[in-house]
Amino acid sequence: MIRSMRTQLAARAACLLLWLAGPGFVPVALADGYTGADGYSPPPGQTASPITDHFSLRLAYFAARVHTDMRLDPTGFAYGGTPISGENDLGLARKNPDGLLELVFRMRERNRFRVDYFQLDRSGNAVVNRTIVFGNETYDAGNAVQTTLDWKTMGFTYTRALIQNDRFELGAGLGVHLLQADVTGTDPALIETHETAKTGAVPTVALETMWRISRRFAFTGRGQYFGATYHGTTGSFGEYHGDFQYRWKPPFALGVGYSYTRASFETLTSSTPGRISLSAGGPEAFVRVSF
């Protein structure tokens, strides 16, 4: 009898708690977005979107169209090299599909930290139609030249939301991009090779925005740029991106967008002076994982 009375009291207490909670009652498990029956769902009052995600990984297929200008000077002789086009003069591919990687961490509610990586490796074969001074080597008209250009960019960007609500966010911040270019030219007939490596770090000012169009569709866009000259070295970097994404089901989204990157680096005072400028732009398709 005592056990029966305890059971009845427990049942009545549970009913009283549910009645006090009323229509606003939400299972405790929803506080972190997870329930045993439903899997993942956003916390109460929030809709899953780039605005509410605390972490995201984006992998993109980037159909880049590339344009490269360079001038590789002989050692210690600024402006001694020949200005050339990597595509027209050296046979580097104009189109180069490649991949993009992006990681985003949201700290507290308004702070975001983004890491992105882009690598572009190309090679070309061409018969030069004019005399070209390529670093410490000279390639005469009619010579066959083999060229490789490996380009890497890694960016670190911090932004803070200036405007933020459930549907829209606008943020501003600062970034730094690490650039590296390795250029090698070889004349197989003369067994002559010249190799140059250029590296640099460029700070940028960044703006980004996110717009939740509906429960499943969202738009994100960003841009960052900076250019400066210091002690005979000039560098600039600009990166721009926009995309539309469809939240198939949390935590997966699919999207299409467009990205454009342009970087320029010139040094006149180092032992290996020269200039290299590269731009890559084109459509992209991606998958995004977030929570």
Amino acid 62: pLDDT:
95
Q: How far is the C-alpha of 211 from the C-alpha of 215, rounded, in Å?
A: 11
Residue extents of the structural domains in the chain? 50-290
Amino acid 42: pLDDT:
53
SS3 of residue 6 by DSSP: helix
Per-residue pLDDT 10s for the chain (291 aa) are 434 444 454 445 444 434 433 443 333 333 334 344 444 455 556 788 999 999 999 999 999 999 999 999 998 899 999 999 999 999 999 998 889 999 999 998 899 999 999 999 999 999 999 999 999 999 999 999 999 999 999 999 999 999 999 999 999 999 999 999 999 999 887 778 888 888 888 899 999 999 999 999 999 999 999 998 888 888 899 999 999 999 998 899 999 999 999 999 898 887 889 999 999 999 999 999 999
- Give the tokens for residue 26: 């939400």
**Residues paired with 67 in a beta bridge:** 279
Residue 79, phi-psi category: left (phi > 0), alpha (psi -120 to 50), beta (remainder) = left
Other residues' Cβ atoms within 10 Å of the Cβ of residue 185: 23
Sequence-distant (6+) residues with CB within 8 A of 18 are 25
The length of the chain is: 291
Q: Which whole-number Å values give the CA distances from 82 to 135, 159, 174, 194, 279, in the listed order?
A: 9, 41, 36, 14, 20
Q: How far is the C-alpha of 2 from the C-alpha of 218, rounded, in Å?
A: 59
**Residue type at position 283:** P
CA angle 195/199/200 to nearest 5° reads 160
In 3D space, the residue among 194, 120, 177, 118 whose CA is nearest the CA of residue 150 turns out to be 120
In 3D space, the residue among 291, 231, 239, 227 whose CA is nearest the CA of residue 265 turns out to be 227
Q: What is the pTM of this model?
A: 0.81
Amino acid 1: pLDDT:
43
Q: How far is the C-alpha of 184 from the C-alpha of 167, rounded, in Å?
A: 49
Other residues' Cβ atoms within 10 Å of the Cβ of residue 99: 13
Strands (E), 213-273: 217-230, 233-249, 252-267
Q: Which CATH class is domain 50-290?
A: mainly beta
Spatial contact of 103 and 53, defined as CB atoms under 8 Å apart: no
Spatial contact of 228 and 271, defined as CB atoms under 8 Å apart: no
H or E element: which one contains 158?
A: strand 144-164
DSSP state of 269: S
Q: How far is the C-alpha of 53 from the C-alpha of 29, rounded, in Å?
A: 18
- Give the tokens for residue 161: 């939301």
- Give the dihedral sign, CA 138/142/143/149: positive
